[in-house]
């Protein structure tokens, strides 16, 4: 009896049953590679359902084999790219280690700079996406007779901003505000620009108008509350900042702003509570510095030194933190540590002695702490003002309740 064979659809060579590939040409063996209907051949009438199903199964098998082959090639390409990326990263790390060993670069500083750069690029991309969404919201909110002129002003404004011509872009948007004075998203965006640039007065104007139109917007409440602190409108500032934290959750900016208000009122217990919440919401050198200054003001030098040391550990160039740390060490009788900290602050031993003679032992954070001159945004302490602005602009991004 003759043995049943599986014939190759390409070279017609006989292969044993159960073999996957042709022994002669290597082609994957299938029952039927292509149904007769796909070859435009006439088929006899009365074919059984089994033949029809067999053709379908074979066609699916053919397509599945092609997809599998393509997936395998794609996977192989991805593995090669991953391997190349691994080798590239290993080479870069080796070069950094070599340059660090030779004293040409500082490895930790370079890595920190690289991480900051990657984070900044990601934030810029996210901000660009948010601006596009906001542009569409602004256009959809407009209802007036000069729609064409309004759209042109808005589109030009956002294009200028995207092209880093911020001043021209904002002027175009201010022109659009004149055409649509009750456009809440537009007013909040222009107010946000002036908040970012440190112009608290103009930010206060636009954000106030925006808040009247969209009082449920938590982001607007936060930014307006901080400008009210800057402008000395304490009661409204407390209401807005408390509302922002109640509806949107804790944020460094809101709790720090409330803490500064209570500091100015010499309500030290509440100020301490708010600064602790600010630190819990965002551990940072600035948060540790603010809390350290407050503990120093309360004559709790051990706790002050602990937070100020943490601030300097997170940023070894934080001269203000080193200065207050020196004051805390001096008052607790640790003269040697005080001199070292004061030298790290950039004043040197001569400056340290001059400070001692002058008896100006107040922390810089408290030198402008009256309710009418807090200047959180326009900034007596530029570093804290910048940290405050950045955190406020990131908080509740796109949130409205």
DSSP assignments along 283-307, one per residue: --HHHHHHHHHHHHHTT-HHHHHHH
319-323: average pLDDT? 92
User: Between the CA of residue 336 and those of 105, 340, 362, what are the distances in Å?
Assistant: 31, 6, 20
User: 113-143: string of b/e by CB count within 10 Å (b at 16+)?
Assistant: eeeeeeeeeeeeeeeeeeeeebbeebbeebe
Q: Tokens 């700079």 identify what position?
A: 113
3-state secondary structure string, 262-283? HHHCCCHHHHHHHHHHHHHHCC
* pLDDT tens-digit readout, 362-378: 677 766 555 555 676 66
* Cβ atoms < 10 Å from Cβ of 84: 10
User: In Å, what is the CA distance from 88 to each residue of 77, 81, 327, 361?
Assistant: 16, 10, 48, 53
Q: At what angle do helices 285-297 and 382-394 cross, to 10 degrees?
A: 130
* Number of helical (H) and strand (E) elements in the chain, helices listed first: 16, 2
pTM value surpassing 0.75? no
Q: What domains can you pick out in the chain, each with its CATH number?
A: 1-58 (no CATH), 218-394 (1.25.40.10)
Provide the pairing of β-strand 5-7 with 14-16. Answer: antiparallel
CA gap 389, 252 in Å, rounded: 10
pLDDT of residue 102: 81
Name the one residue in this structure whose structure tokens are 């909040």: 188
Tokens of residue 172, six digits: 């175009």
The answer to whether the CB of 364 falls within 8 A of the CB of 320 is yes
110-124 tens-digit pLDDT: 777 878 888 888 878
pLDDT higher for 2 or 186? 186
Give the pLDDT confidence score for residue 374 in this predicted structure. 65
Measured between alpha carbons, how far is residue 297 from residues 87, 147, 301, 334, 347 in Å? Answer: 53, 57, 9, 18, 22
Between 108 and 179, residue with greater pLDDT: 179
For the chain, report the end-to-end CA distance as a whole number of angstroms: 84
Work out the mean pLDDT of the chain and round it to a whole number: 83
Higher pLDDT, 298 or 41: 298
């Amino acid at each position: 009896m003759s043995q049943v064979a599986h014939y190759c659809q390409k070279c017609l060579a006989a292969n044993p049953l159960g073999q996957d590939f042709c022994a002669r040409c290597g082609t994957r063996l299938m029952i039927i590679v292509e149904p007769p209907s796909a070859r435009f051949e006439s088929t006899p009438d009365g074919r059984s359902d089994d033949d029809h199903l067999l053709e379908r199964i074979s066609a699916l098998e053919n397509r599945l084999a092609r997809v599998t082959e393509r997936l395998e090639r794609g996977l192989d390409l991805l593995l090669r790219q991953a391997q190349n990326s691994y080798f590239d990263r290993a080479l870069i790390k080796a070069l950094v280690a070599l340059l660090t060993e030779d004293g040409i670069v500082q490895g930790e500083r370079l890595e920190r700079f690289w991480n900051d750069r990657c984070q900044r690029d990601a934030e810029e991309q996210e901000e660009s996406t948010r601006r596009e969404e906001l542009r569409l919201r602004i256009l959809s909110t407009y209802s007036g007779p000069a729609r064409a002129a309004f759209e042109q002003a808005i589109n030009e404004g956002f294009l200028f901003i995207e092209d880093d011509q911020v001043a021209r872009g904002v002027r175009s948007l201010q022109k659009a505000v004149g055409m649509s004075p009750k456009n809440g998203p537009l007013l909040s965006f222009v107010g946000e620009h002036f908040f970012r640039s440190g112009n608290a007065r103009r930010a206060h104007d636009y954000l106030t108008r925006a808040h009247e139109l969209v009082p449920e917007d938590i982001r607007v409440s936060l930014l307006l509350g901080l400008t009210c602190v800057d402008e000395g409108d304490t009661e409204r500032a407390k209401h807005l900042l408390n509302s922002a934290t109640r509806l949107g959750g804790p944020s460094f900016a809101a709790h720090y702003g409330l803490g500064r208000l209570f500091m100015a009122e010499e309500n030290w217990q509440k100020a301490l509570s708010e600064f602790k919440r600010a630190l819990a919401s965002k551990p940072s050198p600035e948060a540790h510095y603010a809390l350290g200054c407050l503990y120093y003001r309360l004559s709790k030098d051990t706790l002050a030194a602990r937070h100020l040391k943490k601030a300097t550990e997170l940023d070894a160039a934080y001269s203000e933190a080193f200065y207050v740390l020196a004051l805390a060490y001096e008052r607790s009788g640790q003269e040697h540590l005080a001199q070292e900290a004061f030298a790290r602050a950039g004043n040197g031993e001569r400056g340290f002695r001059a400070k001692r003679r002058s008896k100006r032992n107040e922390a810089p954070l408290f030198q402008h702490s009256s309710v009418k001159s807090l200047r959180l945004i326009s900034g007596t302490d530029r570093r804290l003002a910048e940290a405050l602005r950045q955190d406020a602009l990131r908080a509740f991004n796109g949130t409205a309740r």
